[in-house]
Amino acid sequence: MMFRINGKQRSWYEGMTVADLIRDLDDSHHYAVVRINDTHVSRPYFEKTLIPENSEVFLIPLIAGG
C-alpha cells in the first residue's frame, strides 16, 4: 500500500493524516500547505485530513502570493 509524495513512492497506512506524514518526514521545514491530488490542505486541517491510498501528495514549500 503506497502513495506518492513529491513524486516518490512512500508506504501508506490506514488512518494516516497529513499531520502524521509531516511528523514522519523528520523535516524541520514548517510546511503550511500541502496538496493532495488537486486539493490544497492548510495547516489548520493537517490533523484531521486523511491521506488516501494511491494519492499524490505535494509539500508546498512557501506561499508567496500577491
Partner 1 sequence: MNLEYKMESVKTFYYDRPIIEKGYANQTLFVDISVPDISVKPVDEIMKEVFIGGKGFDLWLLWHAVKSSTKWTDPDNAICISSGPMGGTPLYPGSGKSIVTTISPLTGSVIDSNVGGYFGPYLKFSGFDALEVKGKTEKDIVILIDGIDEKVEILETSGLPNDSYDLSAILTEHFAQGKPRHISVVSTGPGAKNTRMGCLNFTWYDLKRKRARYKQAGRGGIGSVLADKGIKAIVARWDTVKVDTNNPADKNALKTVGRKHSKEIVELDPKQNEMATIGTTHLVTIMNDFDLLPTNNFQYGNHPEAVNVGQEVYRRIFDAGYDGCWTGCTVACSHGVKDFVPLTGPYKGTKVFVDGPEYETIAGCGSNLGIFDPHTIVEMNFYCDAYGLDTISVGTSIAFAMECFEMGLVDETHTRGIHLSFGNRLAALEMVHQMAEGDGFGLIVGQGVRQMKSIFARDYKADPHIMQDIGMEAKGLEFSEYMTKESLAQQGGYGLALKGPQHDEAWLIFLDMVHNFMPTFEQKAEALHWFPMFRTWFGLCGLCKLPWNDIIPEDNKDTPEPAKVMKHVEWYAEYYTAVTGKETTPDGIIRMSEAVYNFQRIFNLKMGFGQRDHDDIPYRAVGPVKPIEYESRHERYDKELVEKHHVDITGMDTEEKSRRLRKFREALYEELKDAVYKRRGWTANGIPTLETVTRLGIDFPDVLELLKAHGVE
Contacting residues toward partner 1, per CB under 8 A: 6-7, 27, 29-30, 32-33, 35, 38-40, 42-45, 58, 60-66
- CB closer to partner 1, 10 vs 43: 43
With b for 16 or more beta-carbon neighbours within 10 A and e for fewer, the 2-38 pattern comes to ebebeeeeeebeeebbbeebbeeeeeeeebebbebee
- CB closer to partner 1, 2 vs 13: 2
In the complex, minimum distance from the CB of residue 35 to partner 1, in angstroms, rounded to a whole number: 8
